[in-house]
Chain A
Amino acid sequence: MTAPAIRLSGVCKNYGTHRAIDGVDLVVQPGEVACLIGPSGSGKSTLLRCMAFLEEHDDGLIEIAGDPLGFAPGENGRIRLPDREIARVRRSIGMVFQQFNLWPHRTALGNVSEALRFVLRLLRPAAERRAMAYLDRVGLADRAGHYPSQLSGGQQQRVAIARALALEPRIMLFDEPTSSLDPELTGEVLGVMRGLAADGMTMVIVTHEIGFAAHVAQHVVFLEQGRIALEGSASAVFRRPWNPRLARFLETYLDRGASMLIAPEQSDGA
């Protein structure tokens, strides 16, 4: 039996005296699309950043495909793993940020090929060939020479997805990938993500796109105050929101067309 793609056991994260993540246990299987939802401040972004080791968890264990991330259990508590081991485990992970975080001094092609050249040490022609293939995959081969400031938000986010995919990670983490986009631009990004899900990519997505979560996720996790308040399959969580707190949370989406939850899937315009 293969190890889960991600396994969290008793993960905690504190900011000063504030406990942002309070003992989370979570398993994400290979090929699964998991969505983290919850009110702002519930810890969903922090939890995702812990999975990328951009935030160091203060307690508990995170395993990526069976390998401990950052800290391993030792005889007297946990031990911090060496940086090289952290980098090795993190190589399985790609991440896409809310603010895209493209490097402004590099073209789209430069953003995607940078790590191929300087981390994977591919020669420039090979790196650029591979980068072009991934830009093509997100539909932006014709924008390879553009700088981020010359691209729309949706195009920038697709370049960011290509940058992460080009390193061929086993798991993709998305931190509110459409939250800083104009509504008419979210469709193109969600369309790329839907394609990835169809190809069997393991994905963990922090999102406010409840409609997208309801239709694409196999696994929905509702966080509240740093704890998992509810989790299960999308249909179990959304179609029967028996949990009063989840029901209240989902109600805030009614104004924004959450009738999609009940209706069959609608096109996001992808």
Chain B
Amino acid sequence: MTWAVLSLLLAGAGVTAAISVVSVIGGLLLGIAICGASLARSRALRGCAAVYVSFFRGVPLLVQLLLLYHALPRLGLDLPGIAAAVLGLTLCTAAYQAETLRGGFVNVPAGLIEAGRIVGMTARQIMLRVRAPIALRLTLPAVVNEAILILKASSLVSVVGVADLTRTAQNIASSNYRPIETFAAAGALYLLLNIVVGGAGAGLGRMVGRGR
């Protein structure tokens, strides 16, 4: 493995990391909004959230990406492949993260909310100061898990022409005829990235999770 090859793979890993980080964070923000809708009083909002979640969880990510890549130009949005990739990953992970967050909110023990009511907190204070922080702590491990899944699922964006780690490895392997070494190196880089994500998640858990 030459330095030239390795630096190409590292550049691909950088693209993979960037796409994944943006998608997971974007998906968390969108997921919070969808979770809010699914806990809302309005039936219409709850219905929209349910339809969104069932679509993005029910259709394979590969199909979603291909659909976005081909459908967006028809709608007059001529996005580069990388934008379609980030959009697709974000929309998909948002559905999973919304469900995870909803589970966290629903599982905040009723007694902790009553403790807020009895000391005179308003509904808004209970949401912001009791329910949300406890729900986030309950869901943190699942969000880290989701980040790892997205990092790996991002390999699918190679089908829409994005030069991520997987696509770069494919290109290299088809020119140097050493697929085993090349894909082994790519796999090692994915593993390394995910070890970093897992470690960051564990650190974050220690930081916020002393109360659990």
Q: Which residues of A contact B (CB under 8 A)?
A: 52, 54, 87, 90-91, 93-95, 97, 99, 101-106, 114-115, 118-119, 147-149, 160, 163-164, 167
Contact B120 A91 (CB under 8 A): yes
Given A105-B208, A105-B211, A118-B129, are A167 and B119 also a contact pair (CB < 8 Å)? Answer: yes
Contact A149 B211 (CB under 8 A): yes
Contact A97 B111 (CB under 8 A): yes
Q: Which residues of B contact A (CB under 8 A)?
A: 109, 111-112, 114-115, 117-121, 125, 129-130, 133-134, 137, 208, 210-212
Contact A103 B118 (CB under 8 A): no
Q: Is the interface of B mostly helix, strand, loop or mixed?
A: helix
Contact A114 B129 (CB under 8 A): yes
Q: How long is the Cα–Cα vector from A106 to B137 in the complex, in angstroms? A: 12
Contact B117 A54 (CB under 8 A): yes
Contact B211 A104 (CB under 8 A): yes
Contact A101 B112 (CB under 8 A): yes
Given A114-B129, A149-B211, A149-B212, are A103 and B112 also a contact pair (CB < 8 Å)? Answer: yes
Q: How far is the CB of B25 from chain A (nearest CB, A)?
A: 22
Given A104-B212, A147-B210, are A95 and B134 also a contact pair (CB < 8 Å)? Answer: no
Q: How far is the CB of B157 from chain A (nearest CB, A)?
A: 37
Q: How long is the Cα–Cα vector from A52 to B208 in the complex, in angstroms? A: 32
Q: How far is the CB of A142 from chain B (nearest CB, A)?
A: 18
With a cutoff of 8 Å between Cβ atoms, the chain B residues found around residue A103 in the complex are: 112, 115, 130, 134, 211
With a cutoff of 8 Å between Cβ atoms, the chain A residues found around residue B130 in the complex are: 103
Q: How long is the Cα–Cα vector from A66 to B131 in the complex, in angstroms? A: 34
Q: How long is the Cα–Cα vector from A133 to B118 in the complex, in angstroms? A: 21
Contact B120 A87 (CB under 8 A): yes
With a cutoff of 8 Å between Cβ atoms, the chain B residues found around residue A160 in the complex are: 115
With a cutoff of 8 Å between Cβ atoms, the chain B residues found around residue A93 in the complex are: 118
